[in-house]
Every structure is written in C-alpha cells, then in structure tokens.
Amino acid sequence: MSVPRSTKLSFTVGVLFVLLAVTLRFFLVPAASKMPDDLDVNLRYEGTGTMLNPSALQAGDLANVVATNVPVAVDRHVYVSSVHGNTAITHDDLTVEAPGGVSMPSNHTYAIDRTTINSAPAPEGVEVEPHAGLTVGWPMNPNPDASYALYDFATRTTAPMTFAGEGSVSGRDVLNYTVEVAGPLADPSILNGLPPAMPKAQLASLAPLLPADLQAKLGAASGSLPDPVPFNYTAVSKLALSTDKTLGTPADGSLNLQVIANVEIGGENVSVMPVLALDTQLTDQSVADAAATASTVGKLLTLMGVVIPLGSALLGLILIVVGLLRLRKRPSTESTPHRDPETLGAY
C-alpha cells in the first residue's frame, strides 16, 4: 500500500519540529547559559575615600599627607579576551580615581570555567593570576544552599561568602551575600604605589598625626628601629554583593577596602595609619544597566529554553498525529472481478 505524499510530508515536518525542540532545549540552551565569549561589562562604584599623598609625604607637607573623606570612584571593566574550550580568559580591571588626577589601577587576569565560573587550568602559554573561588559572578541559577567562596584580589586569598537572604533589585529577584577578608596586602599593583619604607626623621615628623599611645610606642622604640623604617601593609575588604537569582550576574553591591601601614616594634606589628580607604557603592546607573541586561538575556533564554521548544514540540506532535489519522482513515482498495463479454453471452 502506497503512502500519500501529504502524509509523508506531515510525518517528516513533525519529526523535524520535535528534533528542533530537543536541539534547542538540550544543546543550544546549555551552550547559551555559559559565560559568553564576548562578555564586556563596565561597572562604576562611587563614594568617599582616604588616600596617601606620596608627594606631600616626600615634601614634608604634613597637612596634606593623607587626604580624608575625598570623593572617589572605582571603575571596573570585566571582559573576556579569548576562549579555549570551556575556559574563558577573563580580565577584571579596577581603577581608583580621586581628585588631583590620582589614578590607581589594579588589573587581574583569570582562567575561568565558563559553566561553574570557578577557576580553571590556564591554557598553555597564557599567563593568569592563580586563584580559587568566584571572581566576576556566579554560575547560572545560583543555589542559596550552596557554599560559595570569593577570591579577594587585595590579599590574594579566598574567603567564604555568607548568604544574607533573598531580595529584589530593579524588579529582578536576587540573592544577597556578604564577605569580609583581612590579611597581608598581596596585590602588587597597590603595593607598588605605596612606600616600602620611611626615613626615621620623616616618621617622627608624622607623630603629631598619630594617636598618643602610638606616639609613645614609636618614641620608646626610636633607638632600636632601623633607618629607614620598613613598612608592611595589611588589607581589610568588606563587601556586600547581590546576584541575579536566574543568571548569576552581579546586580548590586558595595566595596569597602582599607589598607593599613604597619611597623614592627619589638616583635609586634603596630598599625601606624590607613594609607588607603574606600567606601563605595555601585552607582544607580550601573545597577539599572545590569538589571536591563539581565532582563533581556533572561527573556531570550526563556524564549529559547521554554517557549520555542515547547511550541515546536507541540506542533511536531500535532503533525505526526495528523499523519497517523490520515493513514488510518485512508479507504482500502478492493479489486473488482473481471468477466469476459463472451462468457456473459453464454448464459
């Protein structure tokens, strides 16, 4: 029995629509859910800060050695320069801007797994900053019950992220986290902008700016301190972070970073003064831009992952059923007996 062309066409097109649904849902959507190979995001934090003025320090201008409560901004540029399989070479460039033309860059390059957004082995010949933990975002559909950790660029250590509940930012559902890290300053970009030591006489001239107990400690140890007096630095980072509950992209946040100069006196590490302090918040414009981008990407993923696959599968099944019904309703062809005219005349 031959099958009509229309029935064949209905079957074929139906199967193609079902295959399209499967391809979109189980192949293209997972690929689109990874860190994009063309990721390029700019964020801006604004607030107040304390900055050491090396020029004033060298000139003995005590009144301007440390500028306090000055307006500062932190520009953050996150982008992917290349992709090697499931590994993205990702750059996280931060620049602190302050009045008087002060600019302090701190640039970082990471090898990141595009699915987990955690660290990945660096491709051969590519130099990256070794790290563990999250850096530029969370994986898709972050789990509030999971134990996430954040890589702190200032100390080059990893700290646990404390879940602080769910919320909403610009109409998007978010997960909130806090992080606090303290340790020796290890970021070479920041260290290179700070004096490694200070002549004794210059340190003594700073005494009027220091607390009375610290003045007493420095005075008592003056004879035993080397000249110049070496500094070491500690960093304390406090962050509040919000991530999009669906996409895992940053939605809002604050950055509080303090760098403190220390002097070792009698085997004790004594804090002298803060040389850098930032108290900043993501700007309203950056928050709005992040929400708009998340909304657009979220709608596209819903369209690709739910609406089109569901519609395609449904249409495909309908066409297949139509083909089956046509096949079942097709009338059977019966052969009619043939009689010779001459035989008929014999009766």
| C-alpha pair distances (Å), 315 with each of 39, 301, 321 | 35, 20, 10
| Alpha helix positions (H), 222-304 | 284-302
In angstroms, the CA 108 to CA 103 distance is: 16
Residue 63: its pLDDT value, please?
Answer: 63
Q: Is the pTM of this model over 0.95?
A: no
Q: What is residue 27's predicted lDDT score, i.e. its pLDDT? A: 59
Cβ atoms of 47 and 281 within 8 Å: the answer is: yes
Buried b (16+ CB within 10 A) or exposed e, 20-49: bbeebbeeebeeebbbeeebebebbbbbeb
CA 121, chain centre distance (Å): 18
User: Is residue 3 within 8 Å of 330, Cβ to Cβ?
Assistant: no
Neighbours of 131 (CB within 10 A): 19
Q: Tell me how far apart the alpha carbons of residues 45 and 242 are, in angstroms, rounded to a whole number.
A: 14
Q: What is the pLDDT of residue 220?
A: 79
Q: Phi/psi of residue 302, each to 5°?
A: -65, -40
- In the prediction, which pLDDT does 206 show? 73
* pLDDT tens string 45-65: 999 998 877 666 666 665 666
103 Cβ contact list (under 8 Å, min separation 6): 95, 96, 97
Positions in the chain whose pLDDT score sits under 50: 334-336, 343-347
